């Protein structure tokens, strides 16, 4: 692909993509000849565009229209800007200074990452909560809020705190909850979550019904018998979709309906973030009819993050239209992932 795209071809492709990112309108040869300063004749530009279309980098959405990028065109463009674009020092300082990490509450940290990424990108942020299977537990506390709700405070090695409000299956007295807290903290004794499953199963047999009703979905976040995620909302953090609805691609009802449908099933988003979590660096998924059809018309930029001790691993990303501004979105996701590595 890169052998075919010599410098002139790359310049024309970049010009088409960058103009389409801004306007969402097909780009014609007249615009390129007049605005892109390529020092090429209109005939040369038309020939290059015809070759780019033949090779699958651009296409004509309808007769007599200009050209728009394909997923292959975006991929080539992304590979080239990844080598050159970086987030500015000023932006880094602004993002870092905006984080309030007092108490190291993991949920607050992740929601701050979501809000900051939304502000600087104007796309939809997504964050996969860190997997804590190998995180050492230090302390757990059950606190009664009212008849129906309990606060569970979990402290992990490294000072990371997780506060979670859960619905109670009955009205627990605080004295009973405190008894469970003491009992569980005796069992924890520096075990990580993976080890703790077996320890608890062996240690609490007589009181399993009442005690396990508190533990299941609080500490483990999955069904102990099936190792399946129970509550996706505890696992996936999603920012506002309104930024996407402002994009011209999603201005009509049918497009909005397809966009909403893409997010109703969170399994697709989790799958993409899980794939990103397994490798270092930036990963980009571009939806199309032939690849990632569930997010057709959208792109997802992702990066993994992990704690300094390596036990907490997750991923962060942005969802936007296929013509999203990759030059600003990619560095933003990359830096936010590195920042989470430093904080968690």
Identify whether residues 249 and 109 lie together within a single domain.
Answer: yes
Average pLDDT over residues 115-121: 89
222 and 202 part of one domain: yes
Which range is least confidently modeled, 74-83, 138-147, 213-222, 267-276?
Answer: 213-222
Residue 215 has which token pair? 């533990």
Q: Are residues 95 and 213 in the same domain?
A: no
Position with higher pLDDT, 220 vs 264 = 264
Question: Residue 152 is part of a domain; what is its CATH number?
Answer: 3.30.390.60
Q: Work out how many domains the chain is built from and give that number.
A: 3
| pLDDT confidence bin for 27, thresholds 50/70/90 | very high
Residue 209 has pLDDT above 70, yes or no: no
Instruction: In whole angstroms, give the CA distance from residue 244 to residue 124.
Output: 7
Mean pLDDT for 247-258 is: 74
**Which of 231, 253, 279 is the C-terminal boundary of a domain?**
231
CATH of the domain at 240: 3.30.450.40
Between CA 108 and CA 119, with CA 113 as vertex, the angle to 5 degrees is 125
Condensed to tens digits (0 to 9), the pLDDT of residues 284-301 reads 999 876 777 778 888 999
Residues 61 and 202 in one domain: no
Torsion of CA 53, 58, 62, 64, to 10 degrees: -60
What does the alpha-carbon distance between residue 298 and residue 66 come to, in Å, rounded to a whole number?
21
Same domain, 173 and 33: no
Per residue in 147-174, pLDDT tens?
Answer: 888 888 888 776 677 788 888 778 888 9
Residue 211 pLDDT class (50, 70, 90 cuts): low
Burial class from Cβ neighbours inside 10 Å (0-12, 13-18, 19+) for residue 14 reads middle
The answer as to whether 2 is a domain residue is: no
Q: For residues 67 and 178, state if they share a domain.
A: no
- Rounded to whole angstroms, the Cα distance separating 176 from 308 reads 36
Q: Are residues 147 and 224 in the same domain?
A: yes
Mean pLDDT of the chain: 80
The last residue of a domain, from among 216, 231, 246: 231
Angle, helices 89-98/326-343, rounded to nearest 10 degrees: 50
Q: Do 227 and 247 share a domain, yes or no?
A: no
pLDDT more than 70, % of the chain? 78
Residue-wise pLDDT tens digits, 80-104: 877 767 788 888 888 888 877 666 6
Proportion of the chain above pLDDT 90, given as a percent: 21
Phi, psi at 189, each rounded to 5°: 45, 45
pLDDT above 50 for 124: yes
Containing structural domain, residue 240: 89-131+233-343
């Amino acid at each position: 692909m890169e052998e075919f795209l010599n410098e002139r071809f790359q310049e024309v492709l970049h010009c088409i993509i960058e103009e389409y990112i801004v306007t969402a309108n097909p780009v014609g040869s007249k615009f390129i000849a007049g605005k892109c300063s390529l020092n090429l004749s209109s005939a040369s530009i038309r020939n290059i565009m015809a070759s780019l279309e033949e090779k699958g980098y651009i296409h004509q959405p309808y007769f007599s229209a200009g050209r728009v990028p394909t997923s292959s065109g975006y991929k080539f463009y992304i590979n080239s800007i990844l080598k050159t674009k970086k987030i500015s020092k000023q932006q880094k300082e602004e993002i870092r200074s905006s984080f309030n990490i007092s108490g190291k509450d993991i949920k607050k940290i992740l929601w701050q990452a979501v809000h900051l990424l939304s502000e600087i990108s104007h796309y939809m942020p997504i964050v996969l909560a860190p997997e804590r299977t190998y995180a050492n537990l230090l302390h757990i506390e059950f606190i009664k809020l009212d008849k129906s709700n309990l606060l569970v405070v979990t402290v992990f090695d490294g000072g990371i705190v997780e506060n979670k409000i859960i619905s109670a299956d009955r009205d627990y007295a605080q004295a009973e909850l405190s008894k469970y807290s003491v009992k569980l903290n005796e069992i924890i004794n520096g075990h990580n979550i993976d080890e703790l499953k077996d320890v608890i199963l062996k240690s609490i047999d007589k009181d399993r019904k009442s005690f396990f009703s508190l533990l299941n979905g609080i500490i483990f976040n999955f069904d102990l018998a099936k190792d399946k995620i129970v509550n996706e909302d505890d696992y996936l953090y999603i920012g506002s979709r309104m930024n996407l609805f402002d994009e011209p691609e999603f201005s009509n009802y049918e497009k909005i309906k397809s966009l909403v449908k893409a997010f109703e099933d969170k399994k697709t988003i989790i799958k993409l973030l899980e794939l990103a979590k397994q490798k270092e660096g930036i990963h980009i998924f571009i939806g199309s009819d032939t690849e990632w059809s569930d997010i057709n018309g959208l792109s997802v930029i992702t990066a993994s993050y992990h704690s300094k001790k390596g036990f907490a691993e997750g991923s962060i990303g942005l969802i936007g239209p296929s013509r999203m501004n990759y030059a600003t979105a990619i560095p933003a996701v990359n830096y936010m992932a590195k920042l989470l590595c430093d904080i968690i």
